[in-house]
Structure 1
């Protein structure tokens, strides 16, 4: 495993601006429709906003369409308490790959198709994220899984991406530590050609829904 910190290539930011602008232009009517449906479903907030560590650990507000009920944390705690097997699965994958009581009916569709992540193109346009990169981690995950500081530094040496190797190589079927290895692999082999390959594979995954929960 290489230990050096990634050097961000010059083409990354221009490509991110071009791609995110194009994506927002093409999908804006769809995003409006999704927002209306979410609002009509339960009257709650349309967006889910959460702080995530970005480039060099700087925190930013990540945007997603809300796919869970407003009291999802309470629902999760009660569900895991009553279901030990689900609790074990959550510990390994940070996901519930079968039934997830937190997810709304429209949320299941948005997650399956990855449409819940469309608002992240605004994160890319703002400069917080990249089109391709490691998926944005949650603040306490590195400590919870005891990831070495040197690897954390490397993972945060590039901007997180709306897609990446994790999404196209297995996604939620992988453990958290396997996800770490894929993100490190991406950073060590960062190139324009690899980014294009990942984007093309992502489009295929969106239509098949493979690994999405």
Structure 2
């Protein structure tokens, strides 16, 4: 997602809203200009009518959003946008007609609806044309272009590559062409070099007969590093459900989306994280202070424990309330040696370590761990955007080093303070295997929705108050 795409979509929403209000007000005055020819039976002040418009506008904007007019991929044709505008506005005003057509105290004239319909379509379309022209000018100047790598066979789909190269309005800049007959290792090495040095964020496989084994490896690479994967149909069979179909120069292109959490979904999730975590930090500040005092009074050492955790393509220092004796904590010589001994008691399979009756835990630490109060400082990471309220489980960097390559796609999203893994095992059930945790995190990434987040948060709340709810997904 480019910032310019987000900016233009935010501007589009504002422009559309203004155009709806302007169209409605203009229709109001036009109707009363015709009162000599067709008298107005019921009068309504402009102030009252604007109040009605303010109620109608969100309905129209919602329908436009459902029609895909605010998708963050900035390569749509203006002709397809205009058709969607007509359908969305027509559907919205038809709904208004059904609700209010017979209530003349709300609408002094039914002609206003007709005028509003025509003017809204015309003005929103005009606004879109102007914004699209401005966006195309930016794309021609190289602003907001996605850096694209094309993998193709010599002479295969040549017209497709030429079309992308000569039409910046499609939103791409081809930074490299790679031959599809290169060995897998060389292809992956080249892609990684382009990712690191040129910031590649999209890949197109334009060879319909590309080797399936190599294509699967490249797909994993793209998934691991957040690169959008596109391919010409008949490349290989896939069970992926998050796909989209686009066309360039009449050639269909299949886009494999890493997760439904793209575009506006990611924006909405971040806004909710910011608002909820900020509010929680303020409301829970007395509890945070009390816990800090109790830790300080009952054991020597700092209040917080911090450790590098993996996040996206990088890492961050994750803070929690300290629940162990400081001398036995990781990061100290004695603590690291003790951990090595305790790892032999690991209650789980896989790279994660879980120790029953850990002797390093201080008395209040057991209570904090059981109630999850030790994780409250993670609200600060959520507020900063390093974590999310809901997401894949947060992992230590050294644990990630032991992950198999096909697990790396779990870092497409920010780690979450809670998630499917946590609510499924109620956090303290060692019977949930490492492979099952990976499956749950992968399910969340591939099936994200805002309702799934709310479901997980609700189940988390039930767990925190001592319930063990049934988890269905």
- Same fold judged by TM-score > 0.5? yes
Q: Please say which of residues 105-114 and 59-68 is displaced more in the overlay.
A: 59-68
Where does residue 296 of structure 2 map in the other structure?
39
2: CA distance, partners of 1:49 / 1:136: 13
1:204–1:123: structure 2 CA closer, same or farther, 3 Å change rule?
same
**Structure number, greater radius of gyration:** 2
Partner SS state of residue 68, structure 1: coil
Where does residue 459 of structure 2 map in the other structure?
201
TM-score, scaled relative to structure 2 = 0.40
1:82–1:140: structure 2 CA closer, same or farther, 3 Å change rule?
closer
Where does residue 166 of structure 1 map in the other structure?
421
Q: Give the deviation of 1:141 after TM superposition.
A: 1.6
1: CA distance, partners of 2:291 / 2:399: 30
Aligned mate of 1:135, from 383, 393, 409: 393
Where does residue 315 of structure 2 map in the other structure?
59
Q: Within 5 Å, give how 1:1-213 maps onto structure 2.
A: 2=240, 4-6=257-259, 7-8=261-262, 9=265, 10-55=267-312, 57-70=313-326, 71-73=328-330, 74=334, 77-78=337-338, 81=341, 86-87=345-346, 89=347, 91-92=349-350, 94-96=353-355, 98-144=356-402, 146-148=403-405, 150-152=406-408, 154-170=409-425, 171-173=427-429, 174-208=432-466
TM-score, scaled relative to structure 1 = 0.86
1: CA distance, partners of 2:342 / 2:322: 25
Q: Please say which of residues 199-208 and 107-116 is displaced more in the overlay.
A: 199-208
2: CA distance, partners of 1:27 / 1:75: 31
Q: Give the deviation of 1:13 after TM superposition.
A: 0.8
Aligned-residue Cα RMSD (Å) equals 2.3
- Structure 2 portions without partners, runs of 5+: 1-238, 241-255, 469-473
1: CA distance, partners of 2:288 / 2:297: 14
Q: Give the deviation of 1:181 after TM superposition.
A: 1.2
Q: How many residues align?
A: 203
2: CA distance, partners of 1:165 / 1:186: 7
